[in-house]
Amino acid sequence: MSLSRGTKAALWGFALLVLAFVYVPIAVVALNSFNSDRTFGWPPPSLTTKWWSVAMHAEGPRDALWTSVKAGVGATIIALVLGALLALALTRFDFFGKRVINLLVILPIALPGIVTGIALQSMIQNVLQPVLGINAGLFTIIVGHATFCVVVVFNNVSARLRRMGASLEAASADLGARPWQTMRLVTLPLVRSSLVAGAVLAFGLSFDEIVVTTFTAGPGTPTLPIWIFNNLFRPNQAPVVNVVAVVLVLISILPVWAAQRLGGEAAAESRI
């Protein structure tokens, strides 16, 4: 398609405007993490790395980061196992109630986080705590996050399984492979990249989740987003929050980049 010089310039201008809209605020946060003024006076009077060294040695953000990582890994593992098995069951087998289960699996992602949060909190308060002695903490965060992480893995894997069709597995059985051999030699290798993509996405969702976490985290176990939220308006901690935010941005670029690369490979693999 060929565009006139004027149209091209206008489109470029518009594109830059949109990109600026998204990225300038992040750049401001990054700059503020070096701002020597405690109240983020603008423009920064001078630049300093003081906040970075303070943040490096603060226990609050470090513990919160560790909690977030544990919660993310736990939720992702649950999501991988349940999501993949559900996807296999719902795409490869016919059974009574299949459609209902399909709906029930997908529903949590459409449900407002606040509803999930309230429901989980009352569950913790009324059942888990008095009956089983389980308090709000890392375990309840993991379970809460798993409710929507399962959907992400499930969607990724079942989309792949559907696109693959059943004929490859039929061919494997036809050639003499038993169900476990087919699973190990054909199904798993072909859904592997969708599993990884689903896991990355699930971890990302869990890592920056705040609504459900608010209701499921105990007072002693804030995740990183909760810690940021709690400390944002404390004058003493505000500069450190900026540093933590920048670190978060840097960390979250990695999985996005990995997911994109995997997505590309997966697309090439299924093109046959």
Partner 1 sequence: MSSSATTDSRPGTPAASGAAAIRLRGLRKEFPGRPPVVAVAGADLTIGSGEFFSMLGPSGSGKTTVLRMIAGFEQPTSGTVELAGEDVTGRPPYARDVNTVFQDYALFPHMSVQENVEYGLMVKKVGRAERRRRAAEALEQVRLGDKGDRRPTQLSGGQRQRVALARALVNRPSVLLLDEPLGALDLKLREQMQVELKEIQREVGITFLFVTHDQDEALTLSDRIAVFNEGRIEQVGSAREIYEQPANVFVAGFVGTSNLLRGEEAERATGRRGTYGIRPEKLTVVRPGTRRSGSEISAAGTVAEVVYAGPVTRFVVDLDGGGRLIALEENGHSATHDELRRGDPVELLWHSEHLIEVPEENSTTDDPSTAQRSSS
Which residue ranges make up the site for partner 1 (CB under 8 A)?
165, 167-168, 170-178, 181, 185-186, 189-190, 269-272
CB of 262 to partner 1, least distance (A): 14
Q: Which residue's CB is nearer to partner 1, number 8 or number 92?
A: 92
Q: Which residue's CB is nearer to partner 1, number 115 or number 188?
A: 188
Query: DSSP 3-state assignment of 35?
Result: strand
- Give the Cα separation of 6 and 12 in Å (integer): 10
Give the contacts of 75 (CB within 8 A, at least 6 positions apart): 141, 142, 145, 146, 149, 202, 203, 206
CB of 169 to partner 1, least distance (A): 9
The pair phi, psi for residue 234, each rounded to 5°, is -95, 115
- Give the Cα separation of 167 and 163 in Å (integer): 11
CB of 264 to partner 1, least distance (A): 15
Q: Which residue's CB is nearer to partner 1, number 25 or number 264?
A: 264
CB of 192 to partner 1, least distance (A): 9
- Give the Cα separation of 206 and 208 in Å (integer): 6
CB of 191 to partner 1, least distance (A): 11
CB of 181 to partner 1, least distance (A): 5
Q: Which residue's CB is nearer to partner 1, number 170 or number 253?
A: 170
Q: Helices H, strands E: what count in the chain?
A: 12, 0
- Give the Cα separation of 86 and 155 in Å (integer): 10
Q: Could you tell me if 168 and 186 are in contact, meaning their C-beta atoms sit under 8 angstroms apart?
A: yes
- Give the Cα separation of 57 and 87 in Å (integer): 44
Q: Which residue's CB is nearer to partner 1, number 69 or number 177?
A: 177
Q: Could you tell me if 174 and 100 are in contact, meaning their C-beta atoms sit under 8 angstroms apart?
A: no
Q: Which residue's CB is nearer to partner 1, number 21 or number 96?
A: 96
